[in-house]
Every structure is written in structure tokens, then in C-alpha cells.
Structure 1
Amino acid sequence: MTKSFLTIGEPMAVFSADEPDVSLEAAKHFTRYIAGAELNVAIGLARLKHQATYLTALGEDPFGISIKQEIKDNQIDTQYIETMTDYWTGFYLKQRVTTGDPAVYFYRKNSAAAHFNQQIIEQVDFSQVGLIHLSGIMAGISENGLVAVQKLFEKAQANQITTTFDPNIRKPLWSSEEKMITTLNALAKEATIILPGINEGELLMGSRDPKAIADFYLNQSDITQTVIVKLGPAGAYIQTKAGESTTVSGYHVAHVVDTVGAGDGFAVGLISGLLEGLSLPDAAKRACAIGALAVQSAGDSEGYPTNDQLKQFMEAQK
């Protein structure tokens, strides 16, 4: 029996501009989706028929109510989601662009997720959890969020559960760049598998060389066993504590609609592959495929495939 997946994060409503290449100030029409990096990963895994559990807090407001329903509709376990009356659900605006990354603007300060009740972690049954995915976003939204992430790393180690960590840099969440770098690198020490993008590697440890990034994270911790550096369209570089390394190629995409969610899609592919017993290179190849599918849709998670869609895409791209 395949074990389940668990993550924690801040779910948000995102209003994505309908008009391409128009500034957020000038955009008039938006389409609402659900978002949040860790939620994106949970949605992607549930779509691939993995049991996914999501820990968070939502406000008792229209966004919170609709997001919780959509989480249920995506077949994600909601038993550890708390609804708060005193805090609101965050949201953000996202530009639509035809090239490059879109501009975004967040309304998330003092959100319900930032006040997540850490006692919920003590209620979780970790016996059937196969992998826990954590990111720098939950750690960045508040001191409370950081402690929750640290507690989950502790639970994972106590229960010998594999962890993946995506730095997911969001500079506006941090009081200073120095604190962000120090905190994210300290969290990375606790992870079994680290998933930095090449730009994140440059910011966090000073190099764009994939091997140098991998060496840095493998050498700073006895816990870390694997580093997978995301190279964008070029694919991914894999290096293990045992000294093995390889690069898997990416997939060609004729038309990029929205780059937001591509990194989370990469995590979906990798984690689902690991839970299904694939080798690291095969899991990373699947990760590249879902990342490529993600950028072809406007919403953060709308492009994530079913198992049949994933199989068709990968076979067509051989």
C-alpha cells in the first residue's frame, strides 16, 4: 500500500488578470482560482490518486469557505484544517503575461494561516505518512508558521519519514534578506531532499553552478541525502550524498501561458514518483513533465495532469 502525503501551508484566493500584458493597476477583469504553493502540491498529488493531507487555518469568510470546499472537491483530507473567526484568508492579484514571470501583489498579512494552531500537529497520525513536503513560505509568513514547519521536521525525523523542502523564496515575507537566507538554509539542514531552483541557489549560497549548490546543501547536513536543482526548461540536476549525480532533460513547451505553479508541479512529479517507488532520475523526469504542463495553463494548479494525461504527454514527448 502506498503511504500518504502530508504538507502544511497558507491557502489563498488568487485573482488572475484576464487581459495579457496589462499592468495590475490597469487590469479590469480577473478570474479567481485557489492558490498557495503547498496546496498546489497537494492538489497535484490528489489528482494523481495519492492520498493527500493538508494542514492549515482559514478565515471564516467567503474566501475561506470557498477554498475549503474546493480542497474537499479535490479529494484532499481536510480534517486538520481549522476555521478561525478572528483572522482572514489571504488573497493576491496576478498579472497575465505572454513572456517571463507575472507581477503579483499579496494581501496576506495577519492571515489565519499565520496563526496556525500548532496543537493540531500533535493530533496527526504519522504512521501512514510516506512523505512530508515543506517550504519556505509557511516559515516566512510568521514566527508561528516557522515553528510549525520546524515541528513537522521534528515529527518526520522521529517517525523516519522522508521530507522534501522547497525554499520557495518570497522576499516580501521576510524582515531582511539576511534573515531569509539564514532561516531557509537552517531549515534545509533538516530535509532529506532539497529542491532549490538555480536562481534560489544563487541567492541562498552564492552560485548558479548546480553542482556547487548541491555540494553546499549536502555538506551542511547529515540528514540531507539528495539535492535536486531545478534548471527551468533545461531540466534538473540530481546529486546524492553517495556521490552519484546526473542531469535529466526538460520538456519543450511551444507556448507558455503562466509560469506560476511550475515549481510546485515539479514537486508533484517528484513526490508522486518517489511514493510509487520510481528511481530518482525517473521521478525527476516526471517532475519536469508536470512542470512543463503547468506553464501551459493560467491558474496555479489548473495544468496539473491526471495519470492518463501525464502518461500521454510523456509518451508524446519521447
Structure 2
Amino acid sequence: MQNRLDVITIGEAMAMFVATETGDLADAEQFVKRVAGAELNVATGLARLGMKVCWVSRVGDDSFGRFVLNSLKKERIDAGCVTIDGRYATGFQLKSKADDGTDPIVEYFRKGSAASHLSPEDFNAAAFNQARHLHLSGVAAALSPTSYALLEHAAKVMKAQDKTISFDPNLRPVLWKSEAEMVEKLNRLAFQADWVLPGLKEGTILTGETTPEGIADFYLQRGVKAVVIKTGADGAWFKTASGEQGAVAAIKVENVVDTVGAGDGFAVGVISALLEGKTLPQAVARGNKIGSLAIQVLGDSEGLPTREELGE
């Protein structure tokens, strides 16, 4: 059946151990276990809003892999495109506790992980045919050349079927051989997308432009339909191919607990609203709202709301 799925996305999930006390990770003795991964955060947020979501990945045949699969089941995310790979381990990460609004320190143990071995062989045509929207991020693109090839193939197929595609650059410079390679390859994916969602600093790195409008025009001139730029404390700024543009103010948060996951929450808001037929200003406002909820709790996805909690 066509469009049985609302969204399909591709990425890596890791077990995440979050320190329960502030200070140097070397001194932390107690941790709380969570699931982490940019694309899985987006899948989780969309699923909580009632959308049918499929997540494509590989996990190891280990306890961390089972932990990830259990999380998918709990969130009602379709795991039919997840391969259990007995050759490689599921990655994990350690995250410091920061309660003053600063970014926590994250140490990754993901090199050679099962998900880094994603490739075009993991493309499940039946699943992609059933989805009406593809969400891609620069994290999965950075995992390996074969993972990048999978994203590129998925985008090509979905575009040929006139499905919509969103792209969040989610820059991870440490995973790339050079900044030049990162810029070239991520922009190649971005040009396939309908909606591009960079942060202001990310947009400057990727385009060489320093203003929201300059960044937006760079992508709009290459076929993208709408660009939404996260401008931090100011909120977000958008521009469409038809020339509609504007700023949407941020929602003030008094107590910032954990900044990680804010951009994924923003993506959840924008994507869900646009798929529901909302206007772009309404979608950006929802993005700001969910992003503000995400930073008020510990964990990458714990603050992502259900439809009832969203209150729309």
C-alpha cells in the first residue's frame, strides 16, 4: 500500500551514558543509560506525535543493540529495516552533566560500529516506496563512504518518486577527512532536499555566506524549496523558493538543562507540521516550541512531546 509510512530516516543509534553529577567525566562514577542518535531522535519525536516512522540502521548482536531495538519498540518506530550485524558492535558514548546551559562534553566510542557499515545493500525498496517523506542528516552521511552512498541512493529514489526530502546538516567535522570533503558531500545531499534546516554557523561553513538570507539563497538557487535557519536565542529565519521569508521568535527558556537534541526537536516540529499541511511560519513556530521543550530535560529525546503534550 502506497504511503503506509509517513517518514523514513537513516542513521546510527548508540547507547549513551549520562553522568549524574557535574564535573569532569573522569571523576563521574554514576551514569544513566539512554539511547542517542540524531536521526533516531527525529524518528522518536515524529512517532510521539502519531506519525508512522521507519528507521533504517544496523546494530550489533549485543546488549546495546538489544537496548536500541527495545527503545524502537517502546516508541512504536518500525524496526523492519534494522539489520542485526553479528560482525560489529553497537556504538556507545559518554556524556557529562552540564546544568548551567553550556554544551555537555560527549566522548564517542563508535569507530567501526555496526551502523558505520550501512551501505546501499541496506536499501529496502518496499519500505521506501511506502514512505511519503525522507529525512536525512549529516551524521549518517559522515559515518562511512558506504553509509553516504546509501543516503545518496535513497534521496535519488525518493526524489524520482516526487516524495519530499528534508536535510539537517548536523555537522560532525571530526568524522570527516577534511572540511572541504564535508562541505562538498553534505551540499550534494542538501541540493536533493526540499527543506534544508541548518544552524547559522553550519550554514556559514557550508555556503561561505554569513547572513541567513545569503545562506538561504545559496540553497534556493540550487533547487531547494525552503530553507529554515536556526538562529539560536533569536529563534529561526526562513525563506522559500517563492520569496516568502521571515523570522519566528524563540520561546524563552528560564532553565536550560541539556542543549543536546534541540536541533533534532526543531526538525521534528518543522517536518511534522509541513507534513500535516501547515504553513511554513506555523511549522517554524512548532520547531521552536519543540526545541525549547527538548532543552529543559536531561537526555537527547526525553523532552520530545506527545501530541497531547504539544497542545496543538
1:103 positional shift: 1.2
Quote the Cα distance in structure 1 between the aligned partners of 2:191 and 2:260: 26
1:58 positional shift: 0.3
Within the alignment, does 1:277 sit opposite 2:277 as a pair? yes
Q: Is the 8 A contact 2:39 2:136 kept in 1?
A: yes
In the alignment, what sits opposite 1:105?
A: 107
In the alignment, what sits opposite 2:220?
A: 218
Quote the Cα distance in structure 1 between the aligned partners of 2:63 and 2:5: 33
Within the alignment, does 1:206 sit opposite 2:208 as a pair? yes
Question: Which whole-Å deviations, capped at 9, do the CAs of 1:287-312 have from their partners, x for residues lacking one?
Answer: 1000000000111000000111111x
In the alignment, what sits opposite 1:28?
A: 29
1:124 match: secondary structure: helix
Quote the Cα distance in structure 2 between the aligned partners of 1:170 and 1:229: 18
1:3 positional shift: 5.4
Q: TM-score, normalised on structure 1?
A: 0.94
1:6 positional shift: 0.7
Q: Is the 8 A contact 1:59 1:85 kept in 2?
A: yes
Alignment of 1:58-73 (within 5 A): 58-73=59-74
Q: Is the 8 A contact 2:81 2:122 kept in 1?
A: yes
In the alignment, what sits opposite 2:304?
A: 304
Q: Is the 8 A contact 1:3 1:275 kept in 2?
A: no
- Aligned residue pairs total 309
Partner amino acid, structure 2, of 1:271: I
Within the alignment, does 1:236 sit opposite 2:202 as a pair? no
In the alignment, what sits opposite 1:247?
A: 247
Q: Is the 8 A contact 2:119 2:149 kept in 1?
A: no
Q: Is the 8 A contact 1:17 1:30 kept in 2?
A: yes
Quote the Cα distance in structure 2 between the aligned partners of 1:291 and 1:239: 20
In the alignment, what sits opposite 2:176?
A: 174
Q: Is the 8 A contact 2:257 2:298 kept in 1?
A: yes
In the alignment, what sits opposite 1:89?
A: 90
Q: Is the 8 A contact 1:136 1:168 kept in 2?
A: yes
Quote the Cα distance in structure 2 between the aligned partners of 1:23 and 1:89: 25
Question: Which whole-Å deviations, capped at 9, do the CAs of 1:200-249 have from their partners, x for residues lacking one?
Answer: 11222233311111011112x12x11110011231111101111111111
Quote the Cα distance in structure 2 between the aligned partners of 1:263 and 1:310: 17
Partner amino acid, structure 1, of 2:195: I
- Extract unaligned runs of 5+ from structure 2: none
Shift of the 118–127 alpha-carbon distance from structure 1 to 2, 3 Å rule, reads closer
In the alignment, what sits opposite 2:161?
A: 159
In the alignment, what sits opposite 2:15?
A: 13
Partner amino acid, structure 2, of 1:38: E
Within the alignment, does 1:133 sit opposite 2:144 as a pair? no
1:193 positional shift: 0.7
Quote the Cα distance in structure 1 between the aligned partners of 2:58 and 2:232: 32
Q: Is the 8 A contact 1:2 1:276 kept in 2?
A: no
In the alignment, what sits opposite 2:49?
A: 48
1:2 positional shift: 8.5
Quote the Cα distance in structure 1 between the aligned partners of 2:215 and 2:103: 23
Q: TM-score, normalised on structure 2?
A: 0.96
In the alignment, what sits opposite 2:286?
A: 286
Q: Which moved more, 1:77-86 or 1:207-216?
A: 207-216
Quote the Cα distance in structure 2 between the aligned partners of 1:205 and 1:23: 36
Question: Which whole-Å deviations, capped at 9, do the CAs of 1:67-103 have from their partners, x for residues lacking one?
Answer: 1111111100011100000011011111111222111
Shift of the 117–204 alpha-carbon distance from structure 1 to 2, 3 Å rule, reads closer
Partner amino acid, structure 2, of 1:147: A
Indicate the RMSD between aligned Cα atoms, in angstroms. Answer: 1.4
Within the alignment, does 1:189 sit opposite 2:201 as a pair? no
